[in-house]
Amino acid sequence: MKIYSLTIFSTENDAVVNLAGEHDLSGFGFFQRNSVQEFLTFFSKTVAERTKPGQRQSVEENNYVFYAYSRTEGLAGIMICDNEYPQRVAFSLLNKILDEFLIKFPRDKWIPQSIVFPELKNYLIKYQDPKQADQIVKVQTQLDETKLVMNKTIETLLQRGEKLEDLIDRSQEISFQSKAFYKQAKKTNSCCSIS
Amino acid sequence: MIGEYHLDFIPFEDDLLSLELDYTFKELYLDGDYTSIYYAARALMKLQTLFGLFPRVLGKGDCAKHLADMLLRMRREVAVDDPSSTLVVSQNIDSLIIIDRSVDLITPLCTQLTYEGLIDEVFSIRASHVEVDSSIVGPAPQKSAVGAPTSTSTTTTTTPSQPPPQPQAKKKKIALNSGDKLFAQLRDMNFAVVGSVLNRVAKRINDDYEGRHQAKTVAQIREFINKLGGLQSEHQSLRTHTGIAEEIMGVTVTPEFNKSLEVQQNLVAGVDVNTQNDCIEEMINRQVPLVQVLRLLSLQSLVNGGLKQKNFEFFKKEILQTYGFEHLQTLLNLEKLNMFVKQVSTRNPYANIRKSLRLIVDEVEENNPHDISYVYSGYAPLSVRLLQCVVTKGDNGIRNNGWKGYEDVLRMLPGKTFDEVQRKEDSVIRPKRLIQGQQPRVTLIFFLGGCTYTEISAIRFLAQQDDGQREFVIATTQITNGNSLLNSIMQKTEHPGVTAGTL
């Protein structure tokens, strides 16, 4: 699974303006890259225009999936990846970069040419492997590993000491006959009584 | 500045107090030394200052009467010494019932058949602790040779580097009290049902352990881990009690034990005396520990009003020749205590007592007993039957009617009978009628001269029967059994060969 591009647009004033964007075109042949990049940018812009503020959506086109997240602050983040990339991870990534962007660049700084946002590149690289990067997935895998270790520990703990099966068998053997005698005595001596 | 610390009652359980005075039986009834009565009175007086005067003091037995008189006198002394102190009548305790050991010597001579009772007979419980071989409570030493020593169950694990260690013969002290939930469940039950209870508990713990396979989410796993600690200690407790029960079973399956039990049960049921004498003679020939022989002979003497002259002389001779001439003193002591005497008249009150108090109960349901006789599998402790006379509802619907209706039986038993009401100044205290929703009444029963674990179990059984209307608190000078009772009056010397043994 791959992320091809991450772009941030400003959606104010009904005009979608590209603020920052990064692309990973290593999967494409050298001569195709330019046209692919144009194509991706164009598509991103279109999707951003069509995404209402506060809305998340995903668009599928051939093998590509466009994840769009438009925020009410007037920002929209578009991510283009292949169809294997997990949706939840995609949206959490978009959320993250938009948060960081907002913190770093307040509204008055949204001038397209002057924005330097190196984190975008970092994220693009980092999130190529969703398992490594995504917190939730990481925690889930750790959890599964821990559960396995836990189960193994419990098993070994219970093996120590006397097995319960032994105790079950031994306690079955314990018996005690105590009341035979009174009845016996009564039967054999019902006629006599000692004063 | 020197003061005196009065260590009176030691609480063993919520319902059990003991003075732990080991020699009261010998002192009171053989030596005529009434010091322990003073200590008992002082302890009971302390209870009265804490909880209020006992509205009613009843009892049976000469020493019991002494104790009651001493209590009343102490109360007057307190009023004189400290006129400002006002002792009010107790709100919770409704009566004190004092039972003299000499009134019922039959009960301690019989082999106890409850779980705790048998532990006492076989291992001898001292201050709620027993000392047993550590192999009973821990895993077999061979298994734990390699690797870290196992949990704290044994004190004998050797260092891991050694090859399989030799089985250790060390002892381990185990606490036996209601803190151990499994023990609390087992202690008062007849030993016949202990095996099946242990089995049930083992299966239940096993199922709980299997629950770990159901734990999928983190929350479930955490829940299981939390339960695990409790399950492990239950497992250890199960291990301990299974071991102890097996040891006891090792004793109860022996023909010696069963023969002794048969003789006891026949004697108490009043059956076939002559055959019992043959059995006892055989035991002496086999050199069974003297204390066991004496338990049976005393039992016979008590339930038959003595032995026939020729039997008496015969056993006396046999005992002296088999166990040593120092036991002439032992036999004289028993005679003085009226526990091993020649029959003087054929009139024997025991048969009547047995009938009126219904001491022998044929149908005994050990799993779900309906009567206190389950503690001896068919014999109801005489002392507890007397207690039942007092506390069960009388014909006029009033509980705690005192000894009314049972005067005949009481006359047949040795010792004075008394029933006193403690007055506050000049007003008379009437026993309060229990209103719905009020706290249950507490009846304090005091055994002067010792009480057995079976008597304690029987009283607890009574408490359960009463729908929670009445609670019993048992107080005693000490906890005793047939062995300790007789050992205290047996003559001791260094004698190679036969010594006074257990059971």
- How far apart CA A88 and CA A76 sit, in angstroms, is 17
Q: Indicate the angle between helix axes B273-285 and B255-269, nearest 10 degrees.
A: 150
Domain count, chain A: 1
Residues B316 and B377 occupy one common structural domain: no
> Over 50: is that where the pLDDT of B333 sits?
yes
* Identity of the residue in B192, B221, B246 whose CB atom sits nearest the CB atom of A147: B221
Asked if B190 reaches chain A (Cβ–Cβ under 8 Å), the answer is yes
In this predicted structure, what is the pLDDT of residue B267? Answer: 93
SS3 B427: strand
Asked if A165 reaches chain B (Cβ–Cβ under 8 Å), the answer is yes
> Over 90: is that where the pLDDT of B33 sits?
yes
What are the b/e assignments for B234-266, b being 16+ CB within 10 Å?
bbbbbbbbbbbbbbbbeebeeeebebbbbbbbb
Cβ-proximal residues to B162 (8 Å cutoff; 6+ apart), any chain: B145
Residues B295 and B334 occupy one common structural domain: yes
- How far apart CA B208 and CA B227 sit, in angstroms, is 9
Distance from CA of B430 to the nearest CA of A (A): 42
Residue B117 located in a structural domain = no
Q: CA B503 → CA A3, B257, B328, B391, B482, distances in Å?
A: 86, 8, 22, 33, 8
- How far apart CA A2 and CA A82 sit, in angstroms, is 6
- Cα-Cα-Cα-Cα torsion A7, A13, A14, A16, nearest 10 degrees, comes to -20
Residue B204 located in a structural domain = no
Mean pLDDT computed over B217-224? 79
- How far apart CA B41 and CA B67 sit, in angstroms, is 6
CATH code for the domain of B325? 1.25.40.850
Domain that holds residue A127: 3-159
- CA dihedral over A160, A163, A164, A167, signed as positive or negative: negative
Domain that holds residue B442: 10-104+369-487
Residue A187 located in a structural domain = no
Mean pLDDT computed over B265-281? 89
Q: Which of residues B432 and B418 earns the better pLDDT score? A: B418
Residues B399 and B483 occupy one common structural domain: yes
Domain count, chain B: 2
Q: Indicate the angle between helix axes B309-323 and B327-336, nearest 10 degrees.
A: 140
C-beta separation of B391 from B462 below 8 A: yes
| List of chain B residues whose C-beta atoms are within 8 Å of the C-beta of residue A188 | 271-272
CB within 8 Å: A179 and B202: no
CATH code for the domain of A20? 3.30.450.50
CATH code for the domain of B59? 3.40.50.1910
Q: Which of residues A132 and B156 earns the better pLDDT score? A: A132
CB within 8 Å: B377 and A182: yes
Q: pLDDT tens track of chain A, all 195 residues?
A: 788 888 888 887 777 888 888 888 888 888 888 888 888 888 888 888 888 888 888 888 888 888 898 888 888 888 888 888 888 888 888 888 888 888 888 877 777 777 778 888 888 888 887 766 667 777 877 888 888 888 787 777 777 655 788 888 888 888 776 654 555 445 544 444 444
Residue B159 located in a structural domain = no
Q: Which of B469, B494, B219, B265 is nearest to B361 (CA)?
A: B265
Residues B324 and B431 occupy one common structural domain: no
- How far apart CA A37 and CA A23 sit, in angstroms, is 8
Residue A109 located in a structural domain = yes
Residue B53 located in a structural domain = yes
| List of chain A residues whose C-beta atoms are within 8 Å of the C-beta of residue B150 | 160-161
- How far apart CA B175 and CA B153 sit, in angstroms, is 13
Mean pLDDT computed over B175-187? 92
> Over 70: is that where the pLDDT of B498 sits?
no
Residues B476 and B395 occupy one common structural domain: yes
pLDDT category of residue B393 using cuts at 50, 70 and 90: low
- Maximum C-alpha span of chain A: 124
The tens digit of pLDDT for each residue in B294-319 reads 999 999 999 999 999 999 999 999 99
- How far apart CA B478 and CA B487 sit, in angstroms, is 15
Asked if A159 reaches chain B (Cβ–Cβ under 8 Å), the answer is no
Interface predicted TM-score of the whole assembly (ipTM), two decimals: 0.71
- How far apart CA B406 and CA B254 sit, in angstroms, is 41
SS3 A64: strand
The tens digit of pLDDT for each residue in B37-74 reads 999 999 999 999 888 889 899 999 999 999 999 999 99
Residue window 27-66, chain A: list those with CB within 8 Å of chain B: none
* Identity of the residue in A147, A179, A195 whose CB atom sits nearest the CB atom of B346: A195
Highest mean pLDDT among A80-84, B209-213, B258-262, B293-297: B293-297
In this predicted structure, what is the pLDDT of residue A149? Answer: 83
Nearest C-alpha in A relative to B238? A167
> Over 60: is that where the pLDDT of B146 sits?
no
CB within 8 Å: A182 and B262: no
- Maximum C-alpha span of chain B: 81
Nearest C-alpha in A relative to B373? A179
* Identity of the residue in A162, A176, A179 whose CB atom sits nearest the CB atom of B252: A176
In this predicted structure, what is the pLDDT of residue B206? Answer: 87
Mean pLDDT of chain B: 85
The tens digit of pLDDT for each residue in B228-249 reads 888 888 988 999 999 999 999 9
Residues B339 and B387 occupy one common structural domain: no
> Over 60: is that where the pLDDT of B290 sits?
yes
CB within 8 Å: B221 and A150: yes
The tens digit of pLDDT for each residue in B63-114 reads 999 999 999 999 888 878 776 666 777 788 889 999 999 999 999 999 999 9
- CA dihedral over B154, B159, B165, B170, signed as positive or negative: negative
Asked if A187 reaches chain B (Cβ–Cβ under 8 Å), the answer is no
Residue A69 located in a structural domain = yes
Residues B18 and B94 occupy one common structural domain: yes
What are the b/e assignments for B354-367, b being 16+ CB within 10 Å?
beebebbbeebebe
CB within 8 Å: A181 and B265: yes
Phi first, then psi, for residue B119 (nearest 5°) are -60, -40
In this predicted structure, what is the pLDDT of residue B316? Answer: 96
Q: How open is the CA angle A69-A74-A75, to the nearest 5 degrees?
A: 45
In this predicted structure, what is the pLDDT of residue B398? Answer: 52
In this predicted structure, what is the pLDDT of residue B164? Answer: 46
> Over 90: is that where the pLDDT of B207 sits?
no
